[in-house]
């Protein structure tokens, strides 16, 4: 039994189809496979890549997808299927940080809201993990961006005496619209400033 056969046998046992792997290889080459999916079978293969976490919602190969492609081109004899586990614990930390409503107290000042902000937890978990699988952002970055925006809105509310948290998106919309990306550079700047400050002798 050849090494390639063992590799493909392992892939199939783990639920990865060979036609799906081939399509993933074509996507990696830069081909817009979605435009070629003119039949139900091809669309089914394309959809399965997303369901299995190999392709993100915006048609980028995820970290798991790249690991699968690297796996089939290995030179050694080790037959191991890479797997990224669900980041449930990281999501739980993010979920706890997300405000339940737009009502809050900040620096002794109370602000009354009218909306619930934590919604569709299961859908949020799926989207949270999908973002992480793309490999561009870490769970800590998502948490830090969320904390930054919440603090910014609360500070602005205190200064203007108007509830700026009323403009906060609900948790599901926040992830789907990738609102955290607006704050990635800002938290990066804060980290650099802290490093500079820590390096100063006082």
Q: What is the pLDDT of residues 64-99, one digit of tens each?
A: 788 888 877 765 545 455 444 445 788 999 999 999
pLDDT given for residue 52 in this prediction? 75
The count of domains in the chain is 2
Comparing C-alpha atoms, which of 147, 42, 26 is closest to residue 96? Answer: 147
pLDDT of residue 105: 95
In a domain, 43, yes or no: yes
* Whether residues 49 and 112 fall in one domain: no
Please check whether residues 98 and 183 belong to one and the same domain: yes
The answer as to whether 78 is a domain residue is no
What does the block give as tokens for 65?
A: 């997808």
Residue ending a domain, among 72, 100, 121, is: 72
**Do residues 172 and 119 make contact, with C-beta atoms less than 8 angstroms apart?**
yes
- pLDDT at residue 87 in the model: 58
Q: Tell which of 72, 99, 129 closes a domain.
A: 72
**Cβ–Cβ under 8 Å, residues 132 and 141:** no
Question: Which residue, of 43, 72, 101, is where some domain finishes?
Answer: 72
Is the residue at 81 inside a domain? no
Mention every residue, 6+ apart, whose C-beta is less than 8 A from residue 26. 33
Question: Are residues 99 and 193 both part of a single domain?
Answer: yes
On the question of pLDDT at 195 being above 60, the answer is no
Residue 185 domain-assigned (yes or no): yes
Q: How confident is the model at residue 193 (pLDDT cuts 50, 70, 90)?
A: very low
Q: Are residues 65 and 104 in the same domain?
A: no
pLDDT at 173: 95
pLDDT for 84 equals: 46
Do the domain assignments include residue 31?
yes
pLDDT at 56 over 60: yes
Residues 68 and 92 grouped into a single domain: no
The DSSP 8-state label assigned to residue 71 in this structure reads: H
Helix, strand, or coil here: 110? strand
Distance of CA 159 to the CA centre of its chain: 33
109 and 190 fall within a common domain: yes
pLDDT tens, 104-156? 999 999 999 999 999 999 999 988 988 887 778 888 999 999 999 999 999 99
2-35, pLDDT tens digit by residue? 666 777 777 776 667 778 888 888 888 888 877 7
Q: Is the domain of 137 the same as that of 55?
A: no
Q: Are residues 107 and 52 in the same domain?
A: no
Shared-domain flag, residues 104 and 180:
yes
Per-residue confidence (pLDDT) for residue 88, from 0 to 100 = 76
Same domain for 17 and 110: no
pLDDT, tens only, 162-184: 999 999 999 999 999 999 999 98
Identify whether residues 68 and 163 lie together within a single domain: no
Task: Name the more confident of 10 and 43.
Answer: 43
Residue 83 maps to a domain = no
Both ends of the chain: CA-CA distance in Å? 68
Q: For the chain, how many helices (H) and strands (E)?
A: 10, 2
Which residues, 6 or more positions from 111, have their beta carbon under 8 angstroms from its beta carbon?
A: 102, 103, 104, 105, 157, 163, 165
Instruction: Characterise 132 by phi-psi region: left (phi > 0), alpha (psi -120 to 50), beta (else).
Output: alpha
Range of the domain at 21: 3-72
- Same domain, yes or no, for 55 and 102? no
Asked whether residue 80 is assigned to any structural domain, the reply reads: no
Residue 79 lies in a domain: no
pTM: 0.58
Using a 10 angstrom Cβ sphere, with 0-12 exposed, 13-18 middle and 19 or more buried, the burial of residue 118 is middle
């Amino acid at each position: 039994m050849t090494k390639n056969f063992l590799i493909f046998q392992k892939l199939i046992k783990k639920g990865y189809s060979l036609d799906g792997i081939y399509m993933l290889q074509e996507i990696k080459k830069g081909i817009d496979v979605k435009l070629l999916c003119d039949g139900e079978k091809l669309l089914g293969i394309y959809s399965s890549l997303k369901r299995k976490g190999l392709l993100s919602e915006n048609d980028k190969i995820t970290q798991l997808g790249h690991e699968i492609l690297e796996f089939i081109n290995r030179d050694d004899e080790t037959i191991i299927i890479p797997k990224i586990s669900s980041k449930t614990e990281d999501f739980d930390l993010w979920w706890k940080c997300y405000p339940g409503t737009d009502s809050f107290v900040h620096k002794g000042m109370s602000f009354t809201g009218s909306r619930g902000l934590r919604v569709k937890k299961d859908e949020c978990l799926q989207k949270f993990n999908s973002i992480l699988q793309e490999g561009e952002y870490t769970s800590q970055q998502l948490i830090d961006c969320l904390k930054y925006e919440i603090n910014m809105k609360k500070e602005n509310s205190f200064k203007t005496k108007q509830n700026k948290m009323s403009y906060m998106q609900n948790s599901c919309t926040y992830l789907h619209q990738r609102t955290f990306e607006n704050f990635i550079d800002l938290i990066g700047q804060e980290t650099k400033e802290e490093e500079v400050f820590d390096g100063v002798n006082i």
